[in-house]
């Protein structure tokens, strides 16, 4: 017995010494570049929309590119794609009316994809938009893509069975949020929705009852992908979309993998952004984020030409960011996904309390609680820096750790009792603890109330929800203030359920500003949105801006041409290649 006890004790000591010997953490590391801002233009020169795309330096043809991801992509049907994984994968197998030319450093140009230009505002009032389809664009079977197939794709998105996709075009064409009752797709399969016309095979015209200056942006979403009516299999189209892009889907094993191979009928001369470097792309599902990261770190076999889609888990960031040999295999960029502590203005009606919350917040420690600089980056504005025309400001300057004294001064001896609703998952309860401790230092009394995770979004979007504070995320569909501020703060849109204006702010002066700016040409809107952002924060303080998500990805040593997209903040594959 004795020697065994000694051995056990000895090994425990050795183990502990080994833990200690892992080295001293002195706090060195690479910080995220928070100064990345987005500049964007809508291409006016038709040459910008012509192919082929500029070659990627060092890119070679051949090889198989792997993408590791835990769950499968929920929808592949372009009319239903809306998840970030889907939005990154869709350009490989489908083309849209317009698309973003993105240099991966924040410089965006909206160009025509299937169309020769990113749309022509026929009357100059944003109500009539005309697109001309390029010559030589083909489906995977070699048949030509005309305006009819694009119009059919858009018509199909009216089908209430094909849920999940964006709804901008449908709502704008039907001029009502209940677009599926305004125009019944199933009963009118051979006709087109109101306002959508195809005068000839090369022309597509949108006619709206109200001006929609953002149409060229909205047309870059996958729901403008073409589809021949004969290929429509309804809800089953998810299993085998008909390709118009540089790759076609050749094999899908549900929940295991998806294989895309070169589409020989795709003509690079027509495409301003996509390349066709790897022989094939394989999306491989199943491994969790930690397993993916460890596979990429070991960099062996097929994993050398892979990227882990789920990113570096926050618990592993210290090991990855601290490892200098991995530095040239990481992608680290702030994303446009903005997180804010929403203040329910129906409950917290006192402006000084909302301002005090803004002074009290400790963004620096909140980010540490989230997992640090490679997970989140502080934000003091409602719009993220990746918005066109963004202006940095801090309406309530309190330093990175907040200013509890200033907050107490505003509270003037009151101790507002507020309820913070958080989802009951691991990460959110932790954030709840963090925010509670933070705000209580400034004189608030915070009750953290957990909400079942699967219903949290639905519950907080209800008009009369019982909570005062909750954390919301907004990832805009295009980097314009028009897709951020009006959906989030236009009080005229408030309904009983499903609100995006979760602050329930309804300020008529601000609402009038929304209308004024939305009627301006998109190119001039940028600075106006930035001004309005500051005005909303100063006058109404409907939320506490917290942080933007930071994209932190690892890829194998043979994976090249990857960048973080400036529109969605996820890896983009249009330039991807496999190093020999």
279 vs 365, beta carbon nearer another protein: 365
User: Which residue, 365 or 394, is less far from another protein as judged by CB?
Assistant: 365
One residue of 467, 474, 514, 529 binding another protein per CB under 8 A: 467
- Among the listed residues 452, 498, 516, 523, the single contact to another protein using CB under 8 A: 452
Tell the smallest beta-carbon distance from residue 40 to another protein (Å). 30
CA count, 13 A, side-chain hemisphere, 528: 16
Binding another protein by CB under 8 A: which of 3, 4, 19, 47?
Answer: 19
Binding track over 266-295 against another protein, x by CB under 8 A: ------------------------x---x-
Which residue matches tokens 């869709």? 90
Closest by CA to 529, choosing from 541, 540, 538, 520, is: 520
Q: 164 — alpha (psi -120 to 50), left (phi > 0) or beta?
A: left
| Cβ atoms of residues 480 and 525 within 8 Å | yes
Residue 577 to residue 278: CA distance in whole angstroms:
5
Beta strand extents in 97-156 (DSSP E only): 98-102, 107-112, 120-121, 128-132
What is the smallest separation between the CB atom of 405 and another protein, expressed in angstroms?
18
Q: Choose the stretch contacting another protein; rule: CB under 8 A; options: 26-34, 135-143, 233-241, 513-521.
A: 26-34
How many residues of this chain interact with another protein, rule: CB under 8 A? 53
Query: Can you tell me which of 373, 484, 510, 530 binds another protein, judged by CB under 8 A?
Result: 373
Between the CA atoms of 479, 481, 484 and 487, what dihedral angle is there, to the nearest 10 degrees? Answer: -130
Lookup: tokens for 492? 């005229």
Least distance in angstroms from the C-beta of 397 to another protein: 21
Should residue 405 be labelled a site residue for another protein when binding is judged by CB under 8 A? no
- Of 213 and 289, which has the nearer Cβ to another protein? 289
Peptide linkage before 175 cis (omega within 30 of 0): no
CA-CA distance, 129 to 42, in Å (whole number)? 14
Per the structure block, which two tokens stand in for 302?
């097929």
Contact 36, 379 (CB under 8 A): no
Q: Work out whether strand 563-564 and strand 257-262 pair parallel, antiparallel, or are unpaired.
A: unpaired
Q: From the list 34, 207, 314, 511, which residue makes contact with another protein (rule: CB under 8 A)? A: 314
Interaction of residue 23 with another protein, rule CB under 8 A: yes
Q: Which is nearer to another protein, 372 or 571 (CB)?
A: 372
Rounded to the nearest whole angstrom, what is the least distance from the CB of residue 355 to another protein in the complex? Answer: 23
**Judged by CB under 8 A, does residue 318 bind another protein?**
yes
Q: Which of 41, 291, 331, 448 binds another protein (CB under 8 A)?
A: 448
Given candidates 6, 9, 13, 29, which one binds another protein under the rule CB under 8 A? 29
Alpha helices in 81-130 (DSSP H): 84-93
Q: Which of 114, 154, 321, 564 binds another protein (CB under 8 A)?
A: 321
Q: Is 187 in the site for another protein (CB under 8 A)?
A: no
Stretch that binds another protein, among 27-35, 238-246, 406-414, 508-516 (CB under 8 A): 27-35
Q: How far is CA 54 from the centre of its chain?
A: 25
* Structural contact between residues 213 and 205, judged by C-beta atoms closer than 8 angstroms: no
Q: Does position 433 bind another protein by CB under 8 A?
A: yes
DSSP-H helix ranges across 94-230: 147-156, 168-174, 179-182, 215-218
User: Per DSSP, what are the bridge partners of residue 553?
Assistant: 331
Which tokens sit at 350? 């006192």
Judged by CB under 8 A, the residue of 8, 9, 13, 319 near another protein is 319
Residue whose entry in the numeric block shows the structure tokens 């219903």 = 455
Determine if 191 is a binding residue for another protein (CB under 8 A): no
Rounded to a whole number of angstroms, the minimum distance from the CB of residue 41 to another protein is 35
Q: Which is nearer to another protein, 84 or 467 (CB)?
A: 467
**Residue whose CB is less far from another protein, 44 or 315:** 315
Q: Does residue 535 interact with another protein by CB under 8 A?
A: no
**Listed residue (404, 407, 545) closest to 471, CA to CA:** 545
Of 31, 201, 269, 523, the one binding another protein by CB under 8 A: 31
Stretch that binds another protein, among 46-54, 72-80, 258-266, 313-321 (CB under 8 A): 313-321
Using CA atoms, how far residue 191 sits from 96, 143, 154, 168, in Å, is 21, 21, 12, 20
Residue whose tokens read 């002074």: 359
Q: How far is the CB of 366 from another protein (least distance, A)?
A: 9
The residue whose two tokens read 């499903």 is 498
Q: Which two tokens stand for residue 95?
A: 């083309």
Closest distance of CB 319 from another protein, Å: 5
Which residues bind to another protein, rule: CB under 8 A? Answer: 12, 15-16, 19-20, 22-29, 31, 290, 294, 313-319, 321-322, 364-365, 367-374, 419, 424-426, 429-430, 432-434, 436-437, 447-450, 452, 466-467
């Amino acid at each position: 017995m004795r020697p065994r006890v000694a051995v056990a004790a000895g090994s425990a000591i050795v183990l502990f010494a080994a833990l200690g010997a892992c080295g001293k953490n002195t706090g060195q590391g690479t910080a995220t570049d928070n100064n990345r801002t987005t500049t964007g233009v809508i291409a006016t020169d038709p040459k910008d929309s012509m192919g082929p795309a500029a070659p990627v330096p060092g890119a070679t043809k051949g090889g198989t590119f792997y993408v590791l991801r835990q769950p499968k992509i929920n929808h592949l049907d372009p009319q239903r794609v809306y998840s970030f994984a889907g939005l990154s994968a869709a350009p490989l197998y489908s083309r849209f009316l317009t698309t973003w030319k993105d240099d991966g450093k924040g410089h965006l140009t909206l160009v025509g994809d299937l169309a020769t230009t990113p749309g022509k505002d026929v009357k100059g009032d944003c109500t009539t938009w005309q697109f001309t389809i390029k010559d030589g664009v083909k489906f995977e079977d070699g048949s030509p893509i005309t305006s009819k197939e694009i119009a059919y794709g858009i018509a199909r998105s009216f089908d209430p069975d094909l849920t999940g996709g964006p709804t901008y075009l449908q709502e704008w064409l039907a001029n009502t949020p209940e677009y599926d009752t305004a125009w019944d797709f199933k009963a009118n399969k051979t006709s087109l929705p109101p306002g959508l016309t195809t005068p000839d095979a090369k022309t597509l015209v949108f006619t709206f009852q109200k001006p929609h200056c953002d149409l060229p942006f909205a047309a870059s979403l996958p729901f403008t992908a073409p589809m021949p009516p004969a290929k429509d299999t309804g809800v089953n189209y998810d299993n085998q979309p008909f390709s118009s892009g540089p790759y076609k889907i050749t094999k899908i094993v549900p929940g295991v993998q998806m294989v895309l191979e070169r589409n020989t009928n795709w003509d690079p001369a027509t495409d301003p952004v996509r390349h066709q470097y790897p022989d094939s792309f394989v999306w491989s599902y199943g491994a969790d984020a930690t397993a993916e990261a460890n596979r990429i770190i070991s960099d062996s076999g097929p994993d050398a030409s892979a990227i882990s889609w789920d990113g570096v888990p926050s618990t592993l960031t210290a090991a990855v960011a601290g490892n200098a040999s991995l530095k040239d295999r990481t992608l680290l960029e702030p994303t446009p996904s903005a997180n804010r502590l929403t203040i329910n203005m129906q409950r917290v009606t006192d402006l000084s309390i909302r301002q005090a919350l803004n002074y009290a917040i400790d963004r620096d420690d909140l980010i540490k609680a989230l997992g640090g600089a490679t997970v989140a980056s502080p934000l003091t504005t409602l719009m993220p820096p990746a918005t066109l025309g963004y202006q940095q400001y801090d309406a309530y300057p309190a330093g990175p750790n907040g200013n509890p004294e200033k907050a107490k001064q505003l509270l003037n001896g009151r101790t507002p009792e507020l309820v913070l609703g958080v989802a009951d998952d691991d990460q959110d309860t932790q954030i709840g603890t963090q925010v509670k401790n933070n705000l209580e230092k400034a004189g608030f009394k915070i009750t953290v109330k957990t909400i079942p995770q699967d219903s949290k979004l639905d519950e907080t979007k209800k008009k009369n929800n019982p909570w005062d504070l909750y954390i919301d995320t907004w990832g805009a569909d295009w980097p314009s203030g028009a897709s951020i501020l009006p959906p989030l703060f236009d009080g005229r849109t408030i309904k009983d359920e499903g609100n995006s204006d979760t602050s329930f702010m309804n300020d008529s002066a601000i609402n009038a500003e929304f209308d004024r700016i939305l009627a301006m040409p998109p190119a001039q809107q940028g600075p106006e949105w930035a001004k309005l952002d500051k005005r909303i924060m100063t006058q109404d303080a409907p939320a506490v801006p917290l942080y933007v998500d930071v994209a932190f990805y690892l890829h194998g040593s043979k994976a090249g041409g990857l960048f973080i997209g400036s529109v969605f903040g996820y890896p983009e594959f249009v330039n991807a290649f496999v190093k020999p």
